């Protein structure tokens, strides 16, 4: 046999002698699989706790739908005010009076001239009379809930 073939066979056999302890290799592989399984379970538990915290945070910020009565005053948001934007110009117009609150998320309003129109409820908010508009001789009292009467 040539010397190069002998060297190759000895290298291969020598390599096999290093890996002959199959039980030790099997135990090592078993431990690695268990470690991966533990890491997977930790990641799963972490994702569940993240989802729970995110759901609680989101649920805290959900506003309950407001039901308006006939005759309530509301302000209407104008989203098309971007032609001449001014920092201090209010984008809320009104007050408008509610004529009908519909179940599909729409609300029917009418203005001072009596013209009626339908808008989405998300574009309106409850009108609160400004305290500065009241006469100085008027008495202003606050309820327990902080509402002006």
Mean pLDDT of the chain: 80
What's the pLDDT tens digit per position in 8-67? 555 555 555 555 688 888 899 999 999 999 999 999 999 999 999 999 999 999 887 788
Reported confidence tier of residue 119, pLDDT bands at 50, 70, 90:
very high
Which pLDDT value is given to residue 47? 97
Sign of CA dihedral 18, 20, 23, 28: positive
pLDDT of residue 92: 86
Name the DSSP letter for residue 49. H
| Total-model pTM | 0.48
Of residues 85 and 107, more confidence is placed in 107
Residue 68 lies in a domain: no
CATH number at residue 109: 2.30.30.140
Nearest alpha carbon to residue 108 among 71, 66, 81, 63: 71
The pLDDT value given to residue 144? 66
Q: Tell me the average pLDDT across 124-129.
A: 86
Do 98 and 52 lie in one domain? The reply is: no
Q: Which domain holds residue 128?
A: 73-133
Say how many residues make up the chain. 149
- Determine, yes or no, domain membership for 114: yes
Provide the strand spans (E) within 2-72: none
Number of domains comprising the chain: 2
């Amino acid at each position: 046999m040539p010397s190069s073939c002998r060297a190759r066979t000895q290298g291969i056999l020598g390599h096999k002698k290093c890996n002959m302890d199959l039980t030790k290799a099997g135990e090592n592989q078993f431990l690695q699989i268990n470690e991966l399984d533990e890491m997977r379970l930790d990641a799963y538990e972490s994702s569940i706790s993240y989802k729970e915290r995110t759901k609680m945070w989101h649920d805290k910020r959900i506003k309950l739908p407001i039901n308006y009565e006939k005759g309530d005053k509301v302000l209407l948001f104008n989203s098309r005010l971007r032609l001449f934007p001014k920092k201090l110009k209010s984008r809320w117009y009104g007050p408008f009076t509610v004529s009908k609150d519909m179940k599909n998320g729409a609300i029917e309003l009418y203005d001072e001239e009596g013209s009626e129109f339908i808008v989405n409820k998300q574009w309106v908010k409850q009108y609160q009379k400004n305290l500065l508009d009241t006469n100085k001789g008027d008495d202003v009292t606050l309820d327990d809930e902080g509402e002006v009467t």
